[in-house]
Amino acid sequence: MMLAEELEADWTKVLMEQAPAESIYVVGDVIKGFIANELEVPSVLQRHADYAVYKLADMMNMQITGSSASVRFTGQAGMRRAGAAAKEMLIRAAAVQWEVAESGCEAKLSYVHHHASGRSASYGELAVKVSAYTPSLHPTLKERKNYTICGKSLPRFDTPVKVVGKQIYGIDVNLPGLKYAAIRHAPVFGGTAISFDESGIKGSKGIEATIQLADSVVVIADNYWRAKSALDEMPVEFSDGENGKFNTEEMFNEFE
């Protein structure tokens, strides 16, 4: 929504595709936001600063966004600026094509219009020209009073497929020979797995292995339900560790 707002896109024509797990999509703006707290960088150094945080994000495989960073950093620094920069390039492409001043052109609903001559061009028609331009690092952002998309309750892209059960989640993926694991962690943070008795599930259909980790026990099977059911049946002994006696009253005393 933030990108489409600045781009002056026709929301009815907007589609969303999740970026694949590729290093080109790492998010340097999240690092820049948290480390520098959006400190203003002199324009002459902006491109170098952006490249530096991009390379840092690449080294850390940070293709992430979440919580308040979605709006503050990925949205504000990434989505809004990308949309605004693309809009400026589209207007420039139309002005060059029509040999008119950019100030006389207006972007609206995925078109650029030149009202004085009555000419219009879709974003798609201008895309090839725009691809040769370099986006501005400091495009002009819209004022809140001019918003037509942000702040409105518009239909989500992801709701229909979830409602009808067509959304594919990680647990839906099925590959040849794929194994499934069910895991039981120590009930107290900092606890450890002491022992388990797998005699009751050994030889059960589909059960592949049982593994003891430092703080958990794992059952691996040929499907998730068999792994989970076997783990539920298996006796496991945990130690509570140093947090075993921790309680709500003690927590509030620590806060005080």
- How many angstroms separate the CA atoms of 63 and 58, rounded? 8
pLDDT in 10s for each residue of the chain, 256 residues: 999 999 999 999 998 888 898 888 888 888 887 776 656 677 788 788 888 888 988 998 888 888 888 898 889 888 999 999 999 999 999 999 999 999 999 999 999 999 999 999 999 999 999 999 999 988 999 999 999 999 999 988 889 999 999 998 888 888 999 999 999 999 999 999 999 999 999 989 999 999 999 999 999 999 999 999 999 999 999 999 989 988 999 899 999 9
Q: pLDDT at position 216, please?
A: 97
- Token digits for 46? 């902006």
Same domain, yes or no: 136 and 41: yes
Contacts of 3 (CB under 8 A, 6+ apart): 9, 79, 80, 82, 83
Residue 180 lies in a domain: yes
Q: Is there a domain that residue 237 lies in?
A: yes
Q: Are 77 and 57 in contact (CB under 8 A)?
A: no
Number of compact structural domains in the chain: 2
Give the pLDDT confidence score for residue 48 in this predicted structure. 84
80 and 103 within one domain = yes
Q: Clarify whether residues 97 and 175 are in a common domain.
A: no
DSSP letter for 251, please. H
Task: Report the pLDDT value the prediction gives residue 206, as an integer from 0 to 100.
Answer: 95
Same domain, 35 and 137: yes
Residues 104 and 189 in one domain: no
Question: Which run of H or of E encompasses 193?
Answer: strand 192-196
**CB-based burial of residue 240 (10 Å sphere; 0-12 exposed, 13-18 middle, 19+ buried)?**
middle
Claim to verify: residue 31 and residue 79 sit in the same structural domain: yes
- Listed in sequence order, the residues at least 6 apart from 197 whose beta carbon sits closer than 8 Å to its beta carbon are 234, 235
- Please check whether residues 18 and 114 belong to one and the same domain: yes
C-alpha separations of 46 from 30, 91, 137 in Å: 16, 24, 7
Cα–Cα nearest to 128, from 184, 165, 89, 168 = 89
Residue 72 is predicted with a pLDDT of: 87
203: domain range? 170-243
Which of 162, 193, 212 is the last residue before a domain boundary? 162
Distances (CA, A) of 176 to 151, 165, 171, 244: 46, 23, 14, 43
Which pLDDT score is estimated for 77? 84
Using the 3D structure, point to which of 138, 162, 186 is the last residue of a domain. 162
pLDDT at res. 54: 86
Q: Which residue, of 130, 162, 194, is where some domain finishes?
A: 162
